[in-house]
Amino acid sequence: MPGAARPAPRLPQLDGVLVLDKPEGPTSAACLSAIKRLGQKKIGHSGTLDPLASGVLVVLLGQATKLATYLTGAVKTYRGRLRLGATTDTYDVQGRVLAEKDWSHVTAEALRGAILDWKGTTVQEVPAYSAAKHQGKPLYALARAGEEIPVKSKEITVFAAEALDIALPEADFRVSCSAGTYVRSLVHSLGTRFDCGAILTALRREESRPFTLDRAVPLQAVLDEPDLLAGRLIGIAEALPDWPQARLTAGDVRKVKNGIRLSTHGQAGPGARALFLDEDGVPLALAESVPEAGDVRWSILRGLW
């Protein structure tokens, strides 16, 4: 993969969110491993991309790894391309061809309508070649070993879908969906609907809310210019734009660190969330208000110190 062969300089452990523009080809894990060799031992992500896919991969460094739970459920937006007339075991162009069928009965209008029909909430079957796990093992490992693959399904929501360009047997589309949606499964289901098969041939993640491609840095640039990495990071506070912020006094900071729940003083009802900052504006903790002893108090969801 890009940059993998050259010695990587060692940087101090950094804290923040890197919006990476993942290239097509390497796995998400391989991209993180390359960045890890820059001295970033504490590293995570908020949702992987298939090797075929490129685009926004949200990489979490240092203290920002503690945000993973609160970022993984974000809405994702993709631009993709499908091709009618084939079925593969992975539902995309990188898989083994299982069948090829005539697609000439499908009109551009019908295909456009089928893409629009993705919109809504439905139960989606998880592809056999996926990172979803069964008894601790990813399904793709079971599939490659020739073992029986359990049928797993999940509820997903497609918030928006549109056909961008249709030149049969191919079509470009854009889709916004809930986290965990397999776009290649949407394409596979469309092919089943037309009884001719369909595979995903290209996919680019344009957004993993609130992070978009205009903030993304190509992997090669990260590896070639490690000295610029710190300046390319998004701080924890900026990474949570929908969380109201509350700056605490030094006394309240001590209380929070000692496990004492602060009163909301009537300023928040149960279920509210807030990002606590210390007097210097440094992120301290993620909190949620809960009823307690006739009051509403802040319960710490995740300490950031």
16-73+210-239 and 76-208 share one fold: yes
Contact present, 140 and 96 (Cβ < 8 Å): no
Q: Residue 185: which of 270, 127, 119 has the closest Cα?
A: 127
Q: Residue 216: which of 92, 77, 105, 104 has the closest Cα?
A: 77
Q: Average pLDDT of 105-127?
A: 93
Phi-psi region of 190 (alpha: psi -120 to 50; beta: other; left: phi over 0): alpha
Name the band, by pLDDT with cuts 50, 70 and 90, for residue 129.
low
Q: CA–CA separation, 54 vs 213, rounded Å?
A: 10
Contact present, 81 and 200 (Cβ < 8 Å): yes
Can you say whether the dihedral through the CA atoms of 175, 181, 185, 189 is positive or negative?
negative
pTM: 0.87
**In this predicted structure, what is the pLDDT of residue 229?**
97
Q: Average pLDDT of 38-53?
A: 94
Tell me the pLDDT tens digit for each residue of 107-116.
999 999 999 9
Close Cβ partners of 35 (under 8 Å, ≥ 6 residues apart): 18, 20, 43, 59, 222, 223
Helix (H, G, I), strand (E, B) or coil at 236: helix
Q: CA 267 → CA 57, 86, 253, 279, distances in Å? A: 36, 58, 18, 20
Q: Is there a catalytic annotation at residue 50?
A: yes
Q: Residue 185: which of 252, 261, 95 has the closest Cα?
A: 95
Choose the catalytic residue: 21, 50, 92, 278.
50
Q: CA–CA separation, 199 vs 94, rounded Å?
A: 9
Q: CA–CA separation, 24 vs 296, rounded Å?
A: 48
CATH of the domain spanning 16-73+210-239: 3.30.2350.10
Tell me the pLDDT tens digit for each residue of 266-300.
899 999 999 999 999 999 999 999 999 899 999 99
Q: Kindly list the domain boundaries of the chain, sorted by start residue.
A: 16-73+210-239, 76-208, 245-303
Task: Give me the CATH topology for the region 76-208.
Answer: Pseudouridine synthase (3.30.2350)
Tokens matching residue 32: 């993180």
Q: CA–CA separation, 154 vs 124, rounded Å?
A: 5
User: Is the predicted pLDDT of residue 153 greater than 80, yes or no?
Assistant: no
- The correct answer on CATH 3.30.1490.20 for the domain covering 245-303 is no
